[in-house]
Amino acid sequence: MPDISPSLSNPSLLSRFWFHTRRNISNPHLYLGLLGIACFGFLYYLFTEGWPLPRFEKLPGPVAVFTEWFSPDPMWGISIYSEEYYQHIWASVRRVGIALLIATGLGVPLGLLMGWSKVFKDYSFPVLELLRPIPVLAWVPLAILMFNDTETPVIFLATLASFYITVLNTMLGVESINPNFIRAAACLGSKPHHLFLHVILPGALPFIFTGLQISVGISWFSLVAAEMVSGQYGLGYLILNSYTSVTYETIVIIMMTLGLVGYASSALVRFVGRQLMQWQARALALENR
């Protein structure tokens, strides 16, 4: 058992953050990762601008894209200096945020109930399993029929797939709990609400966060698709709009932005998960994982 000095056994948020940053900086994975990105960037440059292949001729190369992206006076209106750029980002981030809140707010309780009650699961599981394979895009017409503004259908579509995943993972999380924990809780004199709060919920939490991690990705995926179909703002809308107005640099800027924002949102989920599950983070840290 490695000995951790008392001052380290209950580290503050800040010191934990520094610990992780320091560990990441001194980690070869980081540099190998950066090298990989550099290689990819170089190939991208080579095939589009350096020595353009016939198939990639029409694609904007990295130099053109980055010049536009960081230009104070962009040719097509979208760069890190334009207000519009942030308005689109915000529109999409907000929708994903709302979608995830709804998916989690409805999905976690439903999943807990399904994992908890065998009877309830028998009722609801088949319905879920029949709805789940329907691709999100198949819902577009009904979504537009149901909600006759432009904002709600987009959020609805971004919520849907995340919702299924949250429900399923939460249910699996409850089912994965070692039955001896439940027996122990009963011996210790827990009432049902204690059992729920102190055993079921924390026991399912690792699975819930695994689900959330996947949900974030799926939610962005559905959102961009939905924004292309309906919507007047947002990154998906902007991609399609740039295509019709032949501003290809903007398309690539938005694609890269989506990559960055998507990465940031799953990093945020991971971070929150680590904070809520210190018990797991610390046990894993001891195993050097």
279: contact with other proteins by CB under 8 A? yes
**In sequence order, which residues have a C-beta less than 8 Å from that of residue 10 and are 6 or more positions away?**
none
Considering only the stretches 145-153, 238-246, 266-274, 278-286, report the one whose residues sit in contact with other proteins under the rule CB under 8 A: 278-286
Q: How far is the CB of 6 from other proteins (least distance, A)?
A: 8
Where on the phi/psi map is residue 171: left (φ > 0), alpha (ψ -120 to 50), or beta? alpha
13: contact with other proteins by CB under 8 A? no
289: contact with other proteins by CB under 8 A? no
- Contact with other proteins (CB under 8 A): which of 124, 190, 213, 266? 190
Comparing CA positions, the residue from 84, 41, 92, 75 lying closest to residue 246 is 75
The nearer residue to other proteins, 15 or 232, going by C-beta atoms, is 15
282: contact with other proteins by CB under 8 A? yes
180: contact with other proteins by CB under 8 A? yes
- Contact with other proteins (CB under 8 A): which of 35, 53, 183, 264? 183
What b/e sequence results for 17-44 when a residue is b if at least 16 CB atoms lie within 10 Å of its CB, and e otherwise? Answer: eeeeeeeeeeeeeeeeeeeeeeeeeeeb
Q: How far is the CB of 207 from other proteins (least distance, A)?
A: 13
Q: How far is the CB of 284 from other proteins (least distance, A)?
A: 8
283: contact with other proteins by CB under 8 A? yes
184: contact with other proteins by CB under 8 A? yes
Q: Determine the angle formed by the axes of helices 201-229 and 151-175, rounding to 10 degrees.
A: 150
**In sequence order, which residues have a C-beta less than 8 Å from that of residue 75 and are 6 or more positions away?**
68, 247, 249
Secondary structure of residue 150 in the 3-state scheme: coil
Cα 192 to Cα 198: distance, rounded to the nearest angstrom: 10
- Contact with other proteins (CB under 8 A): which of 198, 229, 266, 274? 198
1: contact with other proteins by CB under 8 A? yes
178: contact with other proteins by CB under 8 A? yes
- Contact with other proteins (CB under 8 A): which of 7, 10, 12, 26? 10
Joined tokens for residue 127: 């319905």
Q: How far is the CB of 201 from other proteins (least distance, A)?
A: 9
Considering only the stretches 84-92, 132-140, 161-169, 180-188, report the one whose residues sit in contact with other proteins under the rule CB under 8 A: 180-188
Cα 29 to Cα 24: distance, rounded to the nearest angstrom: 8
Joined tokens for residue 265: 């949102």
Torsion of CA 162, 262, 251, 144, to 10 degrees: 20
Q: How far is the CB of 15 from other proteins (least distance, A)?
A: 16
Q: How far is the CB of 186 from other proteins (least distance, A)?
A: 4
Comparing CA positions, the residue from 250, 270, 248, 283 lying closest to residue 57 is 248
- Contact with other proteins (CB under 8 A): which of 9, 12, 148, 288? 9
For the chain, state the CA radius of gyration: 23
Q: How far is the CB of 13 from other proteins (least distance, A)?
A: 17
- Which residues bind to other proteins, rule: CB under 8 A? 1, 4, 6, 9-10, 178, 180-181, 183-191, 194, 198-199, 202-203, 205, 277-280, 282-283, 286
